[in-house]
Structures are given as C-alpha cells and as structure tokens.
Amino acid sequence: MRLGYYARLFAVQARASLTTAMQYRADFLVQGLTSLYWLGWNLVPLLVLYDDRATVAGWSFGAALVVMAHFVIVRGILEGAINPSLGAVVEQIRSGAFDYTLLRPADAQFLVSTARFAPWRALDVLGGVGLLIYAFVRLGHAPSPAQLGAGLVLLGAGLAVMYGLWIMIVATAFWVVRMDNLIYLLSSVFDAARWPASVFRGVWKVVFTFVIPLALMTTFPARALLGTVTWQAGIGCLVGALLVSIVARLVWRLALRSYTSASS
C-alpha cells in the first residue's frame, strides 16, 4: 500500500518534470553539445598525463578511463536527478513555498527528492556509457557477468552515498539560508572523483576517504568492473552506503524539527 502510494507519487512527479522539459525542447540540442564538450574536456588532463607515462599509481590509461567513465555517468545522474530537486528545495525554503510541501501528507524528504528532474542530462549518462565501452575495447577484454553485476551494485551504493551527502547539505539550508553555495562546494570537490582514488596520497587521501568518500562513488564501482575489488571491500562499500544513508536521514529529520521550531 505505502509502496504503491509512493510509486504513484514518483510517477506523477517524474511526468511533471518530463512535461516541463518538453516545453524547452531546444535544450536537448544544447545539452547534447554541452555533454560532448565536457566529455572531451575531461579527457585533456588524462591525455597529457598518459602522454608521458604508461601507468600512474598502478593505473593504466584504459583502467583510468573506466574510472573517468564512471565519473561522467555519476555526474550525469547527479546533475539530472539529484541537483535539480535539491536546488528546488533551497529555492522553496527561501521563497517560503516549502511550507506547502510540509503540509502534504507524504514524507517530505521523498517529496523534495523527486520534485524535479532534468531529463536531458540522460545524454551525459549516455556519453559516459559510450566512454566505458571504448575503455574496455582499448583494454581488450569485456567484464564478466559477475563483474558487471558487482559493478552495478557498487554503483548503486556509490549513488546512495552521494545522495546522502547532498541531503545533508540541503538540510543545512534550514539553518543557514542561502547555503546553496554548499552544493557547489560539494560538486567541486566531487570533481576529484574523476581520478582513481589511489592516485591521491597524504591529506587528500584522508579527505577523500573519510570526509567525502569519493572512492565509493567512482573508483570502487570501476574496480568491480575491472575485477580488482575484493569481497571484503565490496561489503565495506555497502556498509558505508548504508551508514551514510542512515546519518543523512537523521540529519534531515533534525533539520526539519529545527525549521519548524525556529523559523517564522
């Protein structure tokens, strides 16, 4: 019953986003060109780097491309499914329209997370998949079905981590209005996820492992596809994703409570 209810809600909201996107059909072309542009842009440092070296921190060009492809895919999902909704919430909080969301008899986190999609960003994801295929052609082998399955599961876990972090950032908007800048901050840190995590050392390693677990978002799913991830590490990723999701939910609820006790 509850599940069916939320499935229906999701369908209605997704349809509204699609209808909106259809009104701006020219964006399809613009988005396609932009996707291509950034795809090429992303490759520049990779090409410069591997022009001089065969491997960097044990990663060959092909393997690094697999990580890059994951980055492009995850970034596409982030920009297409997560940022628009959460950006909309921050806007709603500022304009006061968020009050209407709170007065609807459905989970507020669900309502805001599905409020807006940018369907054209699917082109980014498509570009990422293309890059992924190219990377494996270059590597000269295809992932086994088991590796593919593990890769998808870990990709799901990575997306859950990312979504959790973003929810926590949005929750801060209840306390500090105009903190949408924090979303930019996280987006810009996320840019580092285009590189295999093991390339970084020292301070970066600590930050990218414990503060913002970028490795979980792109490197581990990529390694699962490449068949270089252990069972223990895989399970570690899943546990990490679960933990981040739980913490995000708690932070959200806390923020909501403070919103309804302190704002006007």
Binding site for other proteins (CB under 8 A): 5, 8-9, 11-13, 15-16, 19-20, 23, 30, 34, 37-38, 41, 44-45, 48-49, 51-53, 56-57, 95-97, 99-100, 102-106, 111, 176, 178-179, 181-182, 184-185, 187-189, 191-192, 195, 199-204, 257, 260-264
What's the token pair of residue 36?
A: 């291509």
Least Cβ distance, residue 148 to other proteins (angstroms):
29
Least Cβ distance, residue 114 to other proteins (angstroms):
10
Nearer to other proteins, 153 or 179 (CB): 179
**171 CB neighbour count, 10 Å cutoff:** 22
From 138, 131, 121, select the one nearest 43 (Cα to Cα): 131
Q: Please write down the long-range contacts of 105-109, taking CB distance under 8 Å and 24 or more positions apart.
A: 106/5, 106/6, 106/9, 107/6, 108/256, 109/167, 109/249, 109/252
The counts of H helices and E strands in the chain are: 13, 2
Residue 84 burial by Cβ neighbours in a 10 Å radius (0-12, 13-18, 19+):
middle
Nearer to other proteins, 29 or 235 (CB): 29
What's the token pair of residue 130?
A: 């293309």
Nearer to other proteins, 100 or 243 (CB): 100
Least Cβ distance, residue 191 to other proteins (angstroms):
6
Nearer to other proteins, 144 or 263 (CB): 263
Least Cβ distance, residue 130 to other proteins (angstroms):
19
